[in-house]
Amino acid sequence: MLVRFQPQPQRWSPPEPDMYKANYDGAYFAEEEVAGIGVVVWNELGQVMASLEEKLVMPQTMEILEAMAARRAMIFMEELGLCRVIFEGDSETVVKALTGGCPDRSSIGHIVKDCMSLMSCFQTCSFSHVRRQSNEVAHALARRARKSSPLSVWMESVPPDISYSVYVDVTT
Protein backbone atom coordinates (compact mmCIF):
# COMPACT_ATOMS: atom_id res chain seq x y z
CA MET A 1 0.00 0.00 0.00
CA LEU A 2 1.32 3.42 -0.98
CA VAL A 3 0.53 6.48 1.13
CA ARG A 4 2.00 9.80 0.11
CA PHE A 5 1.37 13.51 0.19
CA GLN A 6 1.21 14.99 -3.29
CA PRO A 7 1.54 18.66 -4.25
CA GLN A 8 -1.76 20.38 -4.93
CA PRO A 9 -2.80 20.72 -8.57
CA GLN A 10 -4.21 24.04 -9.77
CA ARG A 11 -7.26 22.34 -11.30
CA TRP A 12 -8.91 18.94 -11.23
CA SER A 13 -7.03 16.27 -13.14
CA PRO A 14 -8.02 12.67 -13.85
CA PRO A 15 -6.31 9.75 -12.13
CA GLU A 16 -3.89 7.45 -13.93
CA PRO A 17 -5.37 4.48 -15.85
CA ASP A 18 -6.72 1.71 -13.60
CA MET A 19 -7.04 4.20 -10.73
CA TYR A 20 -10.00 6.08 -9.28
CA LYS A 21 -10.12 9.47 -7.68
CA ALA A 22 -12.42 10.33 -4.78
CA ASN A 23 -12.90 14.02 -4.05
CA TYR A 24 -14.45 14.77 -0.68
CA ASP A 25 -15.54 17.88 1.20
CA GLY A 26 -17.55 19.06 4.17
CA ALA A 27 -19.86 22.05 4.63
CA TYR A 28 -20.99 23.64 7.90
CA PHE A 29 -24.47 25.10 8.55
CA ALA A 30 -24.09 26.57 12.03
CA GLU A 31 -27.53 28.20 12.17
CA GLU A 32 -29.18 24.79 11.72
CA GLU A 33 -26.53 22.85 13.66
CA VAL A 34 -26.05 20.42 10.77
CA ALA A 35 -23.21 19.64 8.41
CA GLY A 36 -22.91 18.02 5.03
CA ILE A 37 -20.41 15.68 3.45
CA GLY A 38 -19.97 15.28 -0.29
CA VAL A 39 -17.99 12.62 -2.17
CA VAL A 40 -17.58 12.15 -5.91
CA VAL A 41 -15.73 9.24 -7.53
CA TRP A 42 -14.08 9.67 -10.94
CA ASN A 43 -12.38 7.32 -13.39
CA GLU A 44 -9.39 8.10 -15.62
CA LEU A 45 -11.69 9.45 -18.37
CA GLY A 46 -13.14 12.09 -16.04
CA GLN A 47 -16.44 10.25 -15.80
CA VAL A 48 -18.39 10.18 -12.55
CA MET A 49 -18.60 6.62 -11.25
CA ALA A 50 -20.59 7.40 -8.09
CA SER A 51 -21.41 10.26 -5.75
CA LEU A 52 -22.93 10.76 -2.35
CA GLU A 53 -24.11 13.43 0.01
CA GLU A 54 -24.68 12.91 3.71
CA LYS A 55 -26.26 15.18 6.31
CA LEU A 56 -25.11 14.83 9.91
CA VAL A 57 -25.09 16.57 13.25
CA MET A 58 -22.59 19.41 13.21
CA PRO A 59 -19.24 18.38 14.72
CA GLN A 60 -17.28 20.78 16.96
CA THR A 61 -14.90 22.06 14.29
CA MET A 62 -14.52 22.27 10.54
CA GLU A 63 -11.30 20.25 10.85
CA ILE A 64 -13.25 17.36 12.40
CA LEU A 65 -15.85 17.61 9.64
CA GLU A 66 -13.18 17.48 6.93
CA ALA A 67 -11.61 14.42 8.59
CA MET A 68 -15.03 12.78 8.77
CA ALA A 69 -15.51 13.50 5.05
CA ALA A 70 -12.18 11.80 4.27
CA ARG A 71 -13.20 8.77 6.33
CA ARG A 72 -16.61 8.67 4.58
CA ALA A 73 -14.89 8.79 1.19
CA MET A 74 -12.72 5.83 2.19
CA ILE A 75 -15.73 3.84 3.39
CA PHE A 76 -17.62 4.68 0.18
CA MET A 77 -14.74 3.50 -2.01
CA GLU A 78 -14.48 0.27 0.00
CA GLU A 79 -18.25 -0.25 -0.36
CA LEU A 80 -17.91 0.25 -4.13
CA GLY A 81 -15.13 -2.35 -4.24
CA LEU A 82 -12.60 0.06 -5.73
CA CYS A 83 -9.12 -0.67 -4.43
CA ARG A 84 -6.74 1.68 -6.31
CA VAL A 85 -7.63 5.16 -5.13
CA ILE A 86 -6.41 8.73 -4.87
CA PHE A 87 -8.30 10.74 -2.26
CA GLU A 88 -8.43 14.52 -2.68
CA GLY A 89 -9.62 17.07 -0.15
CA ASP A 90 -9.22 20.80 0.35
CA SER A 91 -8.13 20.75 4.02
CA GLU A 92 -4.34 20.77 4.12
CA THR A 93 -4.35 19.96 7.84
CA VAL A 94 -6.42 16.81 7.32
CA VAL A 95 -4.36 15.62 4.34
CA LYS A 96 -1.14 16.14 6.29
CA ALA A 97 -2.59 14.17 9.21
CA LEU A 98 -3.61 11.34 6.89
CA THR A 99 -0.14 11.19 5.37
CA GLY A 100 1.61 11.09 8.73
CA GLY A 101 2.46 14.76 9.07
CA CYS A 102 0.38 15.37 12.20
CA PRO A 103 0.46 13.72 15.65
CA ASP A 104 -2.43 11.47 16.67
CA ARG A 105 -2.99 13.69 19.71
CA SER A 106 -4.75 16.28 17.53
CA SER A 107 -8.53 16.81 17.68
CA ILE A 108 -8.87 14.54 14.63
CA GLY A 109 -6.50 11.84 15.91
CA HIS A 110 -9.25 9.26 16.47
CA ILE A 111 -10.61 9.78 12.95
CA VAL A 112 -7.11 9.59 11.48
CA LYS A 113 -6.63 6.24 13.27
CA ASP A 114 -9.88 4.97 11.70
CA CYS A 115 -8.61 6.07 8.29
CA MET A 116 -5.27 4.34 8.85
CA SER A 117 -7.16 1.11 9.55
CA LEU A 118 -9.24 1.57 6.39
CA MET A 119 -6.08 1.94 4.27
CA SER A 120 -5.61 -1.84 4.46
CA CYS A 121 -8.73 -2.21 2.29
CA PHE A 122 -6.89 -0.69 -0.69
CA GLN A 123 -4.11 -1.92 -2.97
CA THR A 124 -3.05 1.67 -3.62
CA CYS A 125 -4.13 4.60 -1.48
CA SER A 126 -2.82 8.16 -1.60
CA PHE A 127 -4.02 11.54 -0.38
CA SER A 128 -3.65 14.90 -2.08
CA HIS A 129 -4.49 18.39 -0.96
CA VAL A 130 -6.32 20.37 -3.64
CA ARG A 131 -7.62 23.90 -3.78
CA ARG A 132 -11.36 24.52 -3.52
CA GLN A 133 -11.62 25.16 -7.28
CA SER A 134 -10.34 21.62 -7.87
CA ASN A 135 -12.96 20.21 -5.50
CA GLU A 136 -16.13 21.95 -6.69
CA VAL A 137 -18.33 18.88 -7.23
CA ALA A 138 -17.63 17.46 -3.77
CA HIS A 139 -18.22 20.92 -2.28
CA ALA A 140 -21.54 21.28 -4.13
CA LEU A 141 -22.64 17.84 -2.88
CA ALA A 142 -21.71 18.76 0.71
CA ARG A 143 -23.70 22.02 0.49
CA ARG A 144 -26.65 20.21 -1.11
CA ALA A 145 -26.80 17.76 1.83
CA ARG A 146 -28.25 20.58 3.96
CA LYS A 147 -31.67 20.11 2.37
CA SER A 148 -31.69 16.39 1.68
CA SER A 149 -32.29 13.10 3.43
CA PRO A 150 -29.59 11.76 5.75
CA LEU A 151 -27.83 9.87 2.91
CA SER A 152 -28.24 9.96 -0.85
CA VAL A 153 -26.14 7.99 -3.35
CA TRP A 154 -26.01 8.21 -7.15
CA MET A 155 -24.35 5.62 -9.37
CA GLU A 156 -22.60 6.92 -12.50
CA SER A 157 -24.08 10.37 -11.94
CA VAL A 158 -24.59 13.35 -9.68
CA PRO A 159 -27.83 15.19 -8.89
CA PRO A 160 -29.01 17.13 -11.98
CA ASP A 161 -28.66 20.51 -10.27
CA ILE A 162 -24.88 20.11 -9.94
CA SER A 163 -24.15 18.43 -13.28
CA TYR A 164 -22.78 21.75 -14.56
CA SER A 165 -20.08 21.59 -11.86
CA VAL A 166 -18.98 18.21 -13.29
CA TYR A 167 -18.73 19.76 -16.74
CA VAL A 168 -16.70 22.70 -15.39
CA ASP A 169 -14.35 20.42 -13.41
CA VAL A 170 -13.44 18.18 -16.35
CA THR A 171 -13.24 20.84 -19.07
CA THR A 172 -11.30 23.66 -17.37
Report the mean per-residue pLDDT for the chain. Answer: 89
pLDDT at 104: 64
Residues in the chain: 172
Domains and CATH numbers, the chain: 5-171 (3.30.420.10)
In this prediction, residues 149-164 reach a mean pLDDT of 92
0.85 surpassed by pTM: yes
* 31 contacts: CB under 8 Å, gap ≥ 6: none
User: What is the Cα–Cα distance from 11 to 133, expressed in whole angstroms?
Assistant: 7
pLDDT at 9: 46
